[in-house]
């Protein structure tokens, strides 16, 4: 069951994948709101999850931990989790934490799906 949308995350199905759109500041106080959506998205067999980070203004280790846990759950279920990110600072953060290889970012959502502000 998909959790209700909140100011930091919402989920929708787009073609063959589940799109989790994340926005705002993702830190210790808000990471749980994102985790609820990622947990639901990865709770199915062979999930194909896209996490759209293009509207994220700040991401700390709490947000990275949520992404790593969700990616591990997706792989264990026979699926995958990918991130969509076009901000240089997030690319630098993923590189500095050694996660760039684990989450090679896509620059846009496949299929032309627009994010929440477009």
Q: Is residue 115 situated within a structural domain?
A: no
Which CATH number goes with the domain that contains 85?
Answer: 3.30.750.24
Q: Indicate the pTM of the whole model.
A: 0.91
Q: Is residue 1 situated within a structural domain?
A: no
User: What Å distances lie between residue 50 and 29, 55, 63, CA to CA?
Assistant: 23, 14, 15
| Closest to 67 (Cα-Cα) out of 112, 107, 109, 97 | 97
Q: Is residue 90 situated within a structural domain?
A: yes
Q: Is residue 38 situated within a structural domain?
A: yes
**In contact, 82 and 51? CB cutoff 8 Å:** yes
pLDDT of residue 112: 61
Residue 116: pLDDT over 60: no
The model's pLDDT over 31-43, given as tens digits with 9 standing for 90+, comes to: 999 999 999 999 9
pLDDT of residue 110: 87
Q: How many domains does the chain have?
A: 1
Q: Is residue 107 situated within a structural domain?
A: no
What is the residue range of 76's domain?
9-96
| % pLDDT > 90, the chain | 87
Plot region of 7 (φ>0 → left; ψ -120 to 50 → alpha; else → beta): alpha
Q: Is residue 44 situated within a structural domain?
A: yes
pLDDT of residue 42: 98
């Amino acid at each position: 069951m998909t959790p209700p949308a909140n100011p930091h995350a919402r989920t929708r199905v787009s073609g063959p994948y589940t799109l989790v759109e994340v926005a705002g500041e993702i830190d210790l106080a808000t990471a749980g709101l994102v985790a609820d959506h990622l947990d639901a998205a990865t709770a199915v067999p062979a999930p194909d999850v896209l996490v759209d980070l293009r509207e994220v203004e700040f991401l700390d280790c709490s947000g990275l931990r949520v992404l790593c846990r969700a990616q591990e759950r997706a792989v264990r279920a026979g699926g995958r989790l990918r991130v969509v990110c076009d901000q240089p600072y997030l690319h630098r953060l993923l590189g500095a934490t050694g996660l760039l290889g684990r989450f090679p970012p896509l620059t846009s959502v496949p299929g032309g799906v627009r994010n929440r502000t477009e």
